[in-house]
């Protein structure tokens, strides 16, 4: 059983995660200057997996309680590896600011998938309105700028959008099959452990030059991605997944694209923010707020539309 509402403590934690993730895409893109993207993604999973293995052994947590956990682990590892392979490669073709808007359409897909695959996380009028608005934001990002840059960035944009679908699918899959029988550490470990070999194989198959240099900035990029993001922040994220409804967590994550556009896009990368990007960001963010709308309490003390809650 898990909480159906987010109190101030989990909200504060989500805001901190948003700050960490808001700088991540720029740091990935900087690291990709000297290390091939798929190899970098595989390295991140490998290092984070090693850290998690040591942590779980220290805590006395069984890594694979039964064979079914291996099966579920492989599935979410495939999702995870494909998701971040698309993100890392997609960053080579598009701007970090666009990545944040497109990737964080995940709540749109998560709410839809949760409606069909999770018995107690149904769509309601507020969620549907929010989803339509968020979808309109994505459409605005694509159709309001038909210049040469949009065509150049289109492959990267589509890769990141598909990554958002995979992120949502991973979250719903975890909620359905692992949240009530596995620990957050196990869930996270399966993703990084099983995704690492997939990403390395893809790197060997598709990337010619793995490493072109290694500067202090690249070293920091690796540390930030492996330890701060893939180990510590994801550990906290999956702890939240096991405690709160998936649609609520994804809805509050709308702060990440906002911070990401400004931290990664403007401050770190110095990207020019266009009107269509701002419009898309606003529409996606408002849509996520509507998805998170809580039904009113009636006189009997019950929430209207309570079946929409996980």
pLDDT, one tens digit per residue, over 214-236 is 999 999 999 999 999 999 998 88
Q: What is the per-residue pLDDT for 293?
A: 64
Q: What is the per-residue pLDDT for 247?
A: 63
Burial of 168 (0-12, 13-18, 19+ CB in 10 A): buried
Q: Mean pLDDT in each 10-residue stretch from start to end of the chain (310 residues)? A: 66 87 94 96 96 92 92 95 96 91 84 86 82 81 59 87 94 87 86 96 94 95 96 84 71 75 90 83 80 55 35
Q: What is the per-residue pLDDT for 132?
A: 85
| Tokens describing residue 81 | 């590896």
Q: What is the per-residue pLDDT for 250?
A: 62
Q: Which of 83, 253, 86, 260 is nearest to 167 (CA)?
A: 83
Cα separation, 135 vs 286, whole angstroms: 11
Bridge partners of 125, per DSSP, are none
Asked if 295 and 124 count as a contact pair (C-beta separation under 8 A), the reply is yes
Q: Which of 198, 244, 253 is nearest to 80 (CA)?
A: 198
First to last CA, the chain: 9
DSSP code string of 253-265 = TTHHHHHHIIIII
- Is 269 strand, coil or helix? coil
Please write the tens of the pLDDT for every residue from 139-193: 777 765 545 556 778 899 999 999 999 999 998 999 889 878 878 889 889 999 9
Q: What is the per-residue pLDDT for 249?
A: 75
- Is 150 strand, coil or helix? helix
Cα separation, 38 vs 224, whole angstroms: 17
Cα separation, 147 vs 131, whole angstroms: 27
| Tokens describing residue 210 | 């793995």
Q: Which of 237, 235, 232 is nearest to 171 (CA)?
A: 237
In the chain, where the domains are located: 8-308
**What DSSP designation does 267 have?**
I
What DSSP element (H or E) covers 99? helix 96-103
Cα separation, 295 vs 291, whole angstroms: 11
Packing angle of the helix pair 234-241, 8-22 (nearest 10 deg): 140
| Tokens describing residue 73 | 């682990």
Cα separation, 298 vs 310, whole angstroms: 19
Burial of 6 (0-12, 13-18, 19+ CB in 10 A): buried
Measuring CA to CA, how many Å separate 200 from each of 42, 81, 245, 253?
5, 10, 33, 29
Torsion angle, alpha carbons of 45, 49, 52, 57, to 10: 180
Cα separation, 44 vs 222, whole angstroms: 7
Query: From the CB of residue 57, how many other CB atoms can be counted at a distance below 10 Å?
Result: 10
Q: What is the per-residue pLDDT for 26?
A: 95
Q: What is the per-residue pLDDT for 289?
A: 75
């Amino acid at each position: 059983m898990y909480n159906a509402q987010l109190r101030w403590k989990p909200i504060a934690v989500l805001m901190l995660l948003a700050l960490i993730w808001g700088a991540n895409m720029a740091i990935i893109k900087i690291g990709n200057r000297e290390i091939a993207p798929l190899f970098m993604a595989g390295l991140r999973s490998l290092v984070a997996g090693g850290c998690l293995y040591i942590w779980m052994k220290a805590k006395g947590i069984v890594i694979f309680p039964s064979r079914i956990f291996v099966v579920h682990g492989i599935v979410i590892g495939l999702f995870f590896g494909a998701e971040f392979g698309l993100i890392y490669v997609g960053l080579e073709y598009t701007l970090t600011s666009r990545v944040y808007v497109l990737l964080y359409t995940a709540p749109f897909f998560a709410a839809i998938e949760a409606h069909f695959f999770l018995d107690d996380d149904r769509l309601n009028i507020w969620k549907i309105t929010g989803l339509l608005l968020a979808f309109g934001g994505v459409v605005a990002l694509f159709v309001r700028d038909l210049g040469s840059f949009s065509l150049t960035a289109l492959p990267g944009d589509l890769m990141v959008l598909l990554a958002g679908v995979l992120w949502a699918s991973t979250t719903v899959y975890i909620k359905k099959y692992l949240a009530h029988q596995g620990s957050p550490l196990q869930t996270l470990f399966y993703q990084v452990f099983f995704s690492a070999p997939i990403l390395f194989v893809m790197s060997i198959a598709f990337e010619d030059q793995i490493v072109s240099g290694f500067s202090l900035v690249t070293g920091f990029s690796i540390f930030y991605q492996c330890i701060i993001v893939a180990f510590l922040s994801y550990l906290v994220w999956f702890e939240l997944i096991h405690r709160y409804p998936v649609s609520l967590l994804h809805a509050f994550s709308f702060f990440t694209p906002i911070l990401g556009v400004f931290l990664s896009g403007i401050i770190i990368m110095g990207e020019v923010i266009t009107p269509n990007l701002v419009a898309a960001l606003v529409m996606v963010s408002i849509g996520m707020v509507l998805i998170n709308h809580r039904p009113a309490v009636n006189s009997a003390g019950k929430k209207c539309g309570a079946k929409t809650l996980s």
